[in-house]
């Protein structure tokens, strides 16, 4: 059990008062339900719950002190006022766990799509160079640490610094993080000064939280101010958003599929159903790509991961081997078919742009296949992207099956109607039960078809009315073909 004097925990946050001076801190939390004797409780006003309502509860449970930024809460010997409670929580967590971010090399990747694939490719590259790497993101912690698992792309600050503390204790060389826009907006990584950061892209997503694309973009950009002095952000610069970052952060290095004036660029590219080949060029080196991953968007992920690796000094042969070693990414454009099955691909994509990237690649690689797509929109999330998802599907698919995908607390008929408004062709069927829709899709699937299943990837649950219910597309497919 970690036990640290309160003055050390409050360092760079606030001064301890005489009432709590030299007290031992046994934990930190922003969830009053988790408070135990010896804990610091950070009262945060969230989207739906205000932690300041639970200050008395925290003291009743034995909290040493409370940190708050609420204007209507008075300063006392045990209630400490700060200007930003979220920033304070991040610094407190870092201090409590011994500032682990200072003792391990950190790499952060942000963007709407491609974060998971880029971080996993980079992990394989670093491991091919003999480095010990921990990856933190949508897939949880890799390698898996059961006691430290979590459900957010970028975990809350206490969990994040607990993982980094573990990584330092276990002598990991690198921590590679997917950094979400929510994490940047909520100051979860503010205490980390990254060795390298990268940007994939920005497309329509999360407007339920950020309210506008400009807000979303501005939150993403915060990552590029969290890099060590003298180091350079790596930016996929073929989009307007990528170009804007390079303009706003002149120390950025440009990464491009097509522009030979960029700092890192590709040529002699071939993309087919067997994978990707080509060459990555920079001023000082060339790297051969020989990958089993498919699709232009995976070429972007390979290029960004390789550029970061070159930038931090990883040798060319390790980069080439790491690219080769990453032969598939769990739940990302993963063909799960067995020899006797038709082609079935599962992918975690849940944005219109990710759909277009994936489906355009499928169209190019499988020109003679009838493309069928099973997809759905999440409940209580950005509604503006729902009709755009339908437009992206009908642009490339011949048949679509609209099904639930984590409806949460929202009525599935409302969700589906929002999506349906984007269709202008009568090429879809609608289901209020995901399994029913999947079974119909499988019953109508033959060897000339390819079925793309969007949304769940490797997830094994559905979020419905506040419950995570067991659900697996893969298990249903395996049972279907076993019978």
Task: Give the strand pairing for 467-470 and 461-464.
Answer: antiparallel
Higher per-residue pLDDT: 147 or 80 = 80
Which residues are paired to 234 by β-bridges? 198, 253
What pLDDT was estimated at residue 483? 81
Q: What whole-number percentage of the chain has pLDDT above 70?
A: 97
* 146: confidence class by pLDDT, cuts 50, 70, 90: low
> pLDDT tens-digit profile of 297-310?
899 999 999 999 99
Spatial CA neighbour of 348 closest among 459, 455, 472, 473: 455
* 147: confidence class by pLDDT, cuts 50, 70, 90: low
CATH number of 334-482: 3.90.190.20
What average pLDDT does this structure show over 358-372? 93
Break the chain into its structural domains and give their ranges: 4-96, 100-325, 334-482
pLDDT of 153 strictly over 80: no
What is the DSSP secondary-structure string of 135-189? EEETTEEES--GGG--SSSS--HHHHHHHHHHHHHTT-SEEEEE--HHHHHTTTT
CATH of 100-325, one of 3.30.590.10, 3.40.50.10800, 3.40.1190.10, 3.10.110.10: 3.40.1190.10
* 258: confidence class by pLDDT, cuts 50, 70, 90: confident
* 235: confidence class by pLDDT, cuts 50, 70, 90: very high
* 331: confidence class by pLDDT, cuts 50, 70, 90: confident
Which residues are paired to 81 by β-bridges? 68
Spatial CA neighbour of 372 closest among 329, 427, 412, 422: 427
> pLDDT tens-digit profile of 200-214?
998 856 666 667 888
423 token code pair:
């269709």
Helix and strand counts by DSSP (H, E) for the chain = 16, 24
Cβ-contact 97, 165 below 8 angstroms: yes
pLDDT of 224 strictly over 70: yes
* 140: confidence class by pLDDT, cuts 50, 70, 90: confident
158 token code pair:
């206490």
Residue 5 host element (H or E): strand 4-5
pLDDT of 423 strictly over 70: yes
What average pLDDT does this structure show over 329-354? 90
Question: pTM of this prediction?
Answer: 0.86
214 token code pair:
């400009």
User: Percentages helix, strand, coil for the chain, rounded to the nearest 5?
Assistant: 35, 25, 40
Q: What value does the mean pLDDT of the chain take?
A: 93
CATH number of 4-96: 3.40.1390.10
Strand residue runs (E) in 245-383: 253-256, 264-272, 275-282, 286-291, 334-335, 343-347, 370-375
* 151: confidence class by pLDDT, cuts 50, 70, 90: low
Higher per-residue pLDDT: 77 or 147 = 77
What average pLDDT does this structure show over 139-152? 75
Q: Do domains 4-96 and 334-482 have the same CATH topology?
A: no
> pLDDT tens-digit profile of 452-471?
999 998 889 999 998 999 99
């Amino acid at each position: 059990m970690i036990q640290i004097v309160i003055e050390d925990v409050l360092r760079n946050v606030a001064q301890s008062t005489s009432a709590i001076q030299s007290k031992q801190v046994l934990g930190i939390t922003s969830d009053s339900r988790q408070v135990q004797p010896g804990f610091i409780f950070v009262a945060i006003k969230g989207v739906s719950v205000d932690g300041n309502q639970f200050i008395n509860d925290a003291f009743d449970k034995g909290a040493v002190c409370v940190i708050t930024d609420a204007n209507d809460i008075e300063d006392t010997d045990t209630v400490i006022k700060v200007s930003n409670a979220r920033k304070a929580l991040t610094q407190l967590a870092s201090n409590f766990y011994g500032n682990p971010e200072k003792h391990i090399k950190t790499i952060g990747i942000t963007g709407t799509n491609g974060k998971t694939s880029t971080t996993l490719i980079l992990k394989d590259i670093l491991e091919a160079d003999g480095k010990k790497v921990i990856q933190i993101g949508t897939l949880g912690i890799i390698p898996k640490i059961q006691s430290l698992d979590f459900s957010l792309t970028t975990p809350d600050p206490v969990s994040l610094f607990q993982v980094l503390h573990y990584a330092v204790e276990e002598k990991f060389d690198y921590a590679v993080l997917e950094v979400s826009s929510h994490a940047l907006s909520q100051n979860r990584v503010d205490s980390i000064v990254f060795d390298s950061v990268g940007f994939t892209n920005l497309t329509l997503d999360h407007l339920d939280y950020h309210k506008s694309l400009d807000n979303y973009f501005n939150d993403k950009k915060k990552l590029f101010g969290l890099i060590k002095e003298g180091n350079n952000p790596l930016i996929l610069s073929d989009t307007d958003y990528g170009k804007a970052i390079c303009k706003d952060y002149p120390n950025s290095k440009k990464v491009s599929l097509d522009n030979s004036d960029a700092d890192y660029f590709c040529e002699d590219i071939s993309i087919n159903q067997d994978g990707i080949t080509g060459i990555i060029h920079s001023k000082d080196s060339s790297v051969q790509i020989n990958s089993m991953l498919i699709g232009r968007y995976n070429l972007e992920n390979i290029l960004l991961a390789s550029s970061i690796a070159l930038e931090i000094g990883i040798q060319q042969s390790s980069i080439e081997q790491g690219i080769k070693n990453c032969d598939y990414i769990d739940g990302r454009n993963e063909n799960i078919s067995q020899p006797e099955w038709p082609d079935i691909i599962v992918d975690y994509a849940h944005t219109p742009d990710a759909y277009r990237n994936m489906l355009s690649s499928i169209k190019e690689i499988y020109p003679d296949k009838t493309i069928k797509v099973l997809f759905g929109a999440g409940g209580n999330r950005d509604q503006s992207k729902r009709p755009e998802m339908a437009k992206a599907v009908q642009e490339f698919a011949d048949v679509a099956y609209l099904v639930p995908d984590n409806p949460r607390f929202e009525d599935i008929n409302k969700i589906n109607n929002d999506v349906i408004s984007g269709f202008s062709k009568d090429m879809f069927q609608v289901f209020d039960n995901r399994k029913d829709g999947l079974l119909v899709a499988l019953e109508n699937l033959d060897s000339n078809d390819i079925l793309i299943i969007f949304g769940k990837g490797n997830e094994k649950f559905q979020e419905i009315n506040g419950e995570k219910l067991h659900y697996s597309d893969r298990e249903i497919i395996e049972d279907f073909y076993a019978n």
